[in-house]
Amino acid sequence: MMNVETIGLWAGAAWNALNDANGTLNVKGLKKATKLKEKEVYAAIGWLAREGKVNVAETETEVEVTLL
C-alpha cells in the first residue's frame, strides 16, 4: 500500500543506501540496495528531492541520484 508513511520509509531506505554508497547511485543501484520496486524507488527519490536532500541527474541511459 502506498501512503505517506510508507513512502517515508522507502525514502529512509534510499537515503541509507546512498549514504552507504558514498553518496551516489543510479536507480538500478538503488533498487538493488534497497530491494524496492522501481516505482517505490522513484517515490523515495521524489520525497528526498522535495526535502532538498538529493540531486537527480538524468543521462541518456539512466537516472543518477546524489546526496546533497
pLDDT of 23-33, one tens digit each?
999 999 999 99
What residues make up the domain containing 23?
Answer: 4-67
For residue range 34-46, list pLDDT tens digits in order.
Answer: 999 999 999 999 9
Average confidence score pLDDT of the chain: 96
* Nine cell digits for residue 23: 553518496
Average pLDDT score over residue span 63-68: 96
Is pLDDT of 1 > 90? no
Domain count of the chain? 1
- Check residue 2 and give its pLDDT: 78
Q: Are 26 and 64 in contact (CB under 8 A)?
A: yes
| CATH code of the domain containing 41 | 1.10.10.10
The DSSP line for the chain is: ---HHHHHHHHHHHHHHHHHTTTEEEHHHHHHHH---HHHHHHHHHHHHHTT-EEEEE-SS-EEEEE-
Average pLDDT score over residue span 46-55: 97
